[in-house]
Amino acid sequence: MSFTENWGKSCGTTVGLPATPKGSRRPLQQVRELRERFWREVRVPGTGAEFNQNLEKALRVADFLELGELMIVDAYHREESCGCHLREEYQTPEGEALRRDEEYAYVAAWEWAGENEPPILHKEPLQFEFVKPTVRSYK
């Protein structure tokens, strides 16, 4: 299906590993367009009044579109690299992932702020009491 292919391209090649700084806002735009197109063009056989496996699948796609969009938002707000989650503009002179714990040592929880509104970020800081995070070396 062409829809699935579009979706894969938007997510896989641009927010995938490693993410490039170039065209940073493009995938977000693409997913939003895709989501809009989904709601405009989606056709679900049957009705919601009865057992409907097609509706179930359509709802799942709708969920994935929202979740995918949020993942892109989250991925780009986090201006650091972390292990395999490498952003090319954040790397050490030796080409290793550059983590920025002083800025991003938190779990991001995003709050829905309404259609077409940017989601609100809630930070849940990561507190390390006994073991302090260190940068792993593969050498």
Rounded to a whole number of angstroms, the minimum distance from the CB of residue 93 to other proteins is: 48
18 preceded by cis ω (within 30°)?
A: yes
- What is the Cα–Cα distance from 129 to 110, expressed in whole angstroms? 26
Query: Is residue 116 classed exposed, middle or buried when 0-12, 13-18 and 19+ CB atoms within 10 A define those classes?
Result: exposed
Write out the two tokens for 137: 């070396």
Rounded to a whole number of angstroms, the minimum distance from the CB of residue 57 to other proteins is: 10
Q: Which residue's CB is nearer to other proteins, number 53 or number 116?
A: 53
Give the footprint of other proteins on this chain (CB under 8 A).
45-46, 50-54
Rounded to a whole number of angstroms, the minimum distance from the CB of residue 65 to other proteins is: 19
Q: Which residue's CB is nearer to other proteins, number 20 or number 54?
A: 54
